Structure 1
Amino acid sequence: MLEAHFAVPMLEAILVAINTRLLPEEILYILEHSGCKALIVDTELAEPLARIEDRLPKDLKTITVTDRTLSPVHPVPLKKSEGDYEAALACSDGGGIGFSLEDENHTLAINYTSGTTGRPKGVMYTHRGAALNAFGTPIYSGINRDSVYLWTVPMFHCNGWVFPYSVTLVGGTHVCLRKFRPELVFDLVEKEGVTDLCGAPTVMLGICQYAAESGRRFPHCVRANTAGAPPSPTLLENCRKVGIEVKHLYGLTETYGPHTTCRMEPEWETLPLHEQALLLARQGVANANALHLRVVDSDMNDVPRDGETLGDVCMRGNNVMKGYFNNPEATEEAFRGGWFHSGDLGVMHPDGYIELRDRKKDIIISGGENISTIEVEKTVVRHPAVLECAVIAIPDDKWGEVPKAFVTLKPGATATVEEIVTHCRSHIAHFKCPKQVEFGELPKTATGKVQKFVLREREWAGREKRVN
């Protein structure tokens, strides 16, 4: 994957990194919608692809990769393959690829993200955007030629937040991690001298839980950029015990990953831990490569910097997408008024830091993964016993947010929680499936529209914010 991040753009082709946790139908949709012509497949992860191989586009060429360092190796055979990746490299003359680019705004990558329609949208990154983000990342992250970066963020997430290019740009070292395991993280920090990593709070939580159980600590301070949910006071304290310096980032697939930074300021260090956590839980200020960050009202006027007035969080800059692939309507809607609308509601504090309070879009962010509530609802109602369904995000200590389904059954029909969850797991990726199911009537308006806000108010009662 790291090699592909360089080779594919150098060919002036477009990189489409696919989430390995998706189900076959979701993968097929992305392949067809993006018009992929070649597919590089890790045979250890090829099982979903094998199930749809006969339905793949006829002109799609498949190249397989088998990691021989695995023990034991469990490759999933594919009936159609143009050859083996490593064998092709072995036949190369080592001459490299001649690279020239006439237009810096040529699309470099398309990253698919869950949308409110339930179908993922293809977010287009440009060569210019990726390059400028690579230049800007060292400013907020602190990486340099002495950095040893551990890959705990999947490269299918916003092209790894553009860190493939940033780490290489500064002359740092990449340490690739095939699968996140806390004990392996400790081993690599000790063996390779890892200095930096990124990940959702669930990654940090896993590291801290393992440290508490094993008694292990990092031999030196490791800088960690976390996004997807604000770090809690408990997590901050535990990270410090392990030897992790946490920096909170915020962004979307549409902003090449991180758009803002919230890091520990010197004047905060003397504050009680709880107060530090409240400050660090804010989404922060725009990164160096972002033009502006605004919180606006319905007329596109900036809201007061009072930490109370709610508005739309809008972005503009070199780290904002080119648009949605083959979806001009969604692109126009996202950029109304000349600014990218994140779909998040927030406040602007007097010190210029923003803080999210709610989400306009029906998107759940669970462990850093986007989940469309509409997609989950459509899946639930396919169950023969279900009449209707509403899905919302509920707070979760581990994942930040998880889906909860409120289900009304057809008259005379019966179903259990386990049956609903099992049904969902057979149709959508497991991380998208409801973690809780509640049966009963749904609250509605006089016109019959489901009042999701009533469900949210009940589930989030006692919490200041409606995002976690």
Structure 2
Amino acid sequence: MNANDTHPFELNLDRHPANYVPLSPVSFLTRAASAFGGKLAVIDGERRYTYSQLLDRCTRLASGLAKLDVKRLDTVAIIASNISEMIEAHFAVPMLGAVLNPLNTRLDAANIAFSLMHGSADVLIVDAEYAPLVRQALELVDREMVVIDIPSPDGSVAPLGTHAYEALLAAGDPNFDWPGITDEWQSLCLLYTSGTTGDPKGVVYSHRGAYLSALGNGFSFGLTFDSVYLWTLPMFHCSGWSYPWAVVAAGGTQICLRKVEPAQIFRLIAEHQVTHLCGAPIVLNMLAHAPADQRVPFQHTVTVATGGAAPPSSVFRSMEALGFRVTHLYGATETYGPATSCVFQPEWNALPDDERFARMARQGVAYPMVEAVTVADPETMVPVPRDGATVGEIMVRSNTVMKGYLKNEAATAKTLVGDWCLSGDLAVWHPDGAIEIKDRSKDIIISGGENISSLEVEEVLTQHPAVMLAAVVARPDPKWGETPCAFLELKPGATKPDDKELIAFCQARLARFKVPKAFVYGPLPKTSTGKIQKFVLRDQAGAL
């Protein structure tokens, strides 16, 4: 017996159903519906749902899925825009103890098919907008799954499956006693992210991690009962950085948005007094450079969180002038989205604009609910000095770090090392505690918030009959943050291909956002051992 078991502070002071409840974000919705059931929870076009109605829809969906034999740890995939059904899935599926797999709507059919197969999807919920893409993907899938159709607003798209979403809810039991979970470490979500090899990796989240991630985001972002959150960040990205749960925890209102269009965003901000939104730097660029006739004036300040490649100072300046307060975040799918935040320091107000914006573009300090962030030598695991010059790797330790990669022990072991989750991102640590990324050890390109594996693109380019070697690096882009730039060494005697031909060649084999935007031809710089010197190419791409 452990000596502590007989200590007065431990003896007969045991866990009890009254004092120990497994953490799950589902509880945010049951609390909200009980506390303020009549409060407006979701606005989706003409549709309006109160918290009582949202809980009813989620309960009915859980009941309907149970009737389709969805059980604990079964996978329910969904491919949809930022619509109410995506929010509902984030509560209904975990009600059953099943695993939600939001799919990236920007991927090609082959990657969708891979995700469905690798994740062992039993059910697939399909927004009609993506029915043609899913139809192609299902032709590549050799497992049986139930397909549930979310109809298009005009009903013009033929259904893929045998079940209609609203009919499933109508037949669901509003008093369904959903099982929930008994272990907060149980898997909740499966999100796919690109690895350095180009093979998608399935990141697994737990109920505990999602609960704490939602609270950390809500606390850091200043969500309250009066918050109105506009969905410009795709919900398939890290489960929308946990905001489907965070806004409900605060009792705020979520506004759905199918397509990110500046005119629509400005209109919704003014019409609904939007207080918060998140998005990749591309969203900020779109708003900052929107034509005057697309802008609708508003009198309040909108709080914006952005992640990915830091926006240039011109975007910060333009967004501030328009009434937006921007905070830069840093994280990864492996950390449920944001792990650090560039917390604004009051003394920065006295700095010249360019210096102030440079501070605001740093990756910042550890997020609420994140136990620790360090910048360390990946060989020794010793933290680098906080001198703003010594480069190390960003590492995170937190309850909001993934459980691991599904069916990929080797990749998990390379990422969860010792006490830390290794990011693969190289940074310096400033004296004030803020981290600042300097390079990426994994050569991942972040374009418009999407991760692109350079090796995946290189593999496709080298399949072209004229290409001998290919190296793809990030090229700075004022709109997308970064875009792929391809350096090509041709086979002896090969005729230089036309750029349009290469673009078409890539588009037939890659998702469109992964296709290089620029091509450069000539011998590739190499080390004495034949390794391509990508740092040289990055400099060249930046000068193009």
What's the TM-score, normalizing by structure 2? 0.82
Instruction: Give 3-state SS (helix, strand or coil) of 2:350's partner.
Output: coil
Alpha-carbon RMSD across the aligned residues, in angstroms, is 1.5
Which is worse superposed, 219-228 or 47-56?
47-56
1:189 counterpart (251, 266, 269):
269
Instruction: Give 3-state SS (helix, strand or coil) of 1:132's partner.
Output: helix
Aligned positions of 1:113-128 closer than 5 A: 113-128=193-208
Which is worse superposed, 152-161 or 332-341?
332-341
Counterpart in the other structure of 2:502: 420
Q: State yes or no: 1:57 paired with 2:142.
A: yes
Q: State yes or no: 1:134 paired with 2:219.
A: no
Residue 214 of structure 1 and its aligned partner are, at CA, apart by 4.3
What amino acid maps onto 2:139 in structure 1? D
1:396 counterpart (477, 489, 505):
477
User: Following the alignment from structure 2 to structure 1, what is the Cα–Cα distance between the partners of residues 264 and 383?
Assistant: 47
The sequence identity of aligned pairs, in percent, is 48
Counterpart in the other structure of 1:275: 355
Counterpart in the other structure of 1:465: none
Aligned positions of 1:75-224 closer than 5 A: 75=157, 77-78=159-160, 81-210=161-290, 212=292, 214=294, 216-224=296-304
Provide the aligned length of Structure 1 versus Structure 2.
457
User: Following the alignment from structure 2 to structure 1, what is the Cα–Cα distance between the partners of residues 272 and 304?
Assistant: 16
What amino acid maps onto 1:43 in structure 2? A
| Residues 76/310 of structure 1: CA separation in 2 closer, same or farther (3 Å cut) | farther
Q: State yes or no: 1:366 paired with 2:447.
A: yes
| Residues 52/236 of structure 1: CA separation in 2 closer, same or farther (3 Å cut) | closer
User: Following the alignment from structure 1 to structure 2, what is the Cα–Cα distance between the partners of residues 314 and 140?
Assistant: 20
Structure 1, residues 74-120: CA drift from partner, whole Å, max 9, x if none?
42543xx1311111112223224523312111110111001001101
Counterpart in the other structure of 2:80: none
Instruction: Give 3-state SS (helix, strand or coil) of 1:290's partner.
Output: coil
What amino acid maps onto 1:75 in structure 2? V
Instruction: Give 3-state SS (helix, strand or coil) of 2:99's partner.
Output: coil
Instruction: Provide runs of 4+ in structure 1 moved above 4 Å.
Output: 211-215
Residue 41 of structure 1 and its aligned partner are, at CA, apart by 0.5
User: Following the alignment from structure 2 to structure 1, what is the Cα–Cα distance between the partners of residues 327 and 158?
Assistant: 39
Counterpart in the other structure of 2:460: 379
User: Following the alignment from structure 1 to structure 2, what is the Cα–Cα distance between the partners of residues 73 and 209?
Assistant: 34
User: Following the alignment from structure 2 to structure 1, what is the Cα–Cα distance between the partners of residues 96 and 410?
Assistant: 30
Structure 1, residues 389-421: CA drift from partner, whole Å, max 9, x if none?
111111111111110111122223221111111
Counterpart in the other structure of 1:457: 539
User: Following the alignment from structure 2 to structure 1, what is the Cα–Cα distance between the partners of residues 480 and 177?
Assistant: 42
What amino acid maps onto 2:189 in structure 1? A
User: Would the aligned equivalents of 1:246 and 1:263 in 2 still touch at CA under 8 Å?
Assistant: no
1:287 counterpart (346, 367, 372):
367
Counterpart in the other structure of 1:20: 105
Aligned positions of 1:310-325 closer than 5 A: 310-325=391-406
What amino acid maps onto 1:369 in structure 2? E
User: Following the alignment from structure 2 to structure 1, what is the Cα–Cα distance between the partners of residues 338 and 512?
Assistant: 26
1:236 counterpart (316, 327, 341):
316
| Residues 461/409 of structure 1: CA separation in 2 closer, same or farther (3 Å cut) | closer
Residue 55 of structure 1 and its aligned partner are, at CA, apart by 3.0
2:132 counterpart (38, 44, 47):
47
Instruction: Give 3-state SS (helix, strand or coil) of 1:269's partner.
Output: helix
1:33 counterpart (109, 115, 118):
118
Instruction: Give 3-state SS (helix, strand or coil) of 1:51's partner.
Output: helix
2:416 counterpart (335, 338, 352):
335
User: Would the aligned equivalents of 1:198 and 1:226 in 2 still touch at CA under 8 Å?
Assistant: yes
Residue 184 of structure 1 and its aligned partner are, at CA, apart by 0.6
| Residues 8/215 of structure 1: CA separation in 2 closer, same or farther (3 Å cut) | closer
User: Following the alignment from structure 2 to structure 1, what is the Cα–Cα distance between the partners of residues 299 and 261?
Assistant: 18
| Residues 136/201 of structure 1: CA separation in 2 closer, same or farther (3 Å cut) | same
User: Would the aligned equivalents of 1:37 and 1:59 in 2 still touch at CA under 8 Å?
Assistant: yes
User: Following the alignment from structure 1 to structure 2, what is the Cα–Cα distance between the partners of residues 58 and 319?
Assistant: 32
User: Following the alignment from structure 1 to structure 2, what is the Cα–Cα distance between the partners of residues 431 and 52?
Assistant: 18
Instruction: Give 3-state SS (helix, strand or coil) of 2:107's partner.
Output: coil
Instruction: Give 3-state SS (helix, strand or coil) of 1:219's partner.
Output: coil
User: Following the alignment from structure 2 to structure 1, what is the Cα–Cα distance between the partners of residues 403 and 454?
Assistant: 25
Which is worse superposed, 96-105 or 400-409?
96-105
User: Following the alignment from structure 1 to structure 2, what is the Cα–Cα distance between the partners of residues 173 and 93?
Assistant: 26
User: Would the aligned equivalents of 1:217 and 1:241 in 2 still touch at CA under 8 Å?
Assistant: no
Counterpart in the other structure of 2:61: none
Residue 388 of structure 1 and its aligned partner are, at CA, apart by 1.7
What amino acid maps onto 1:400 in structure 2? G
Residue 57 of structure 1 and its aligned partner are, at CA, apart by 3.2
User: Following the alignment from structure 1 to structure 2, what is the Cα–Cα distance between the partners of residues 137 and 29?
Assistant: 31
Instruction: Give 3-state SS (helix, strand or coil) of 1:37's partner.
Output: strand
What amino acid maps onto 1:306 in structure 2? D
| Residues 148/99 of structure 1: CA separation in 2 closer, same or farther (3 Å cut) | farther
Instruction: Give 3-state SS (helix, strand or coil) of 1:86's partner.
Output: helix
Instruction: Give 3-state SS (helix, strand or coil) of 2:100's partner.
Output: coil
Instruction: Give 3-state SS (helix, strand or coil) of 2:540's partner.
Output: helix
What amino acid maps onto 1:310 in structure 2? V
Q: State yes or no: 1:306 paired with 2:387.
A: yes
Structure 1, residues 273-313: CA drift from partner, whole Å, max 9, x if none?
11110100110000111010101112111111100000011
Counterpart in the other structure of 2:526: 444
Residue 73 of structure 1 and its aligned partner are, at CA, apart by 4.8
User: Following the alignment from structure 2 to structure 1, what is the Cα–Cα distance between the partners of residues 142 and 299?
Assistant: 50
Counterpart in the other structure of 2:49: none
| Residues 33/213 of structure 1: CA separation in 2 closer, same or farther (3 Å cut) | same
Residue 440 of structure 1 and its aligned partner are, at CA, apart by 1.3
Instruction: Give 3-state SS (helix, strand or coil) of 1:223's partner.
Output: strand
Which is worse superposed, 261-270 or 278-287?
261-270
Instruction: Give 3-state SS (helix, strand or coil) of 1:190's partner.
Output: helix
| Residues 174/58 of structure 1: CA separation in 2 closer, same or farther (3 Å cut) | same
| Residues 246/211 of structure 1: CA separation in 2 closer, same or farther (3 Å cut) | farther
Larger Rg: 2
User: Would the aligned equivalents of 2:394 and 2:422 in 1 still touch at CA under 8 Å?
Assistant: yes
Counterpart in the other structure of 1:256: 336
What amino acid maps onto 2:539 in structure 1? E
| Residues 210/139 of structure 1: CA separation in 2 closer, same or farther (3 Å cut) | same
Gaps of 5+ in 1: 463-468
Which is worse superposed, 184-193 or 147-156?
184-193
User: Following the alignment from structure 1 to structure 2, what is the Cα–Cα distance between the partners of residues 236 and 336?
Assistant: 36
What amino acid maps onto 2:524 in structure 1? L
User: Following the alignment from structure 1 to structure 2, what is the Cα–Cα distance between the partners of residues 10 and 376?
Assistant: 39
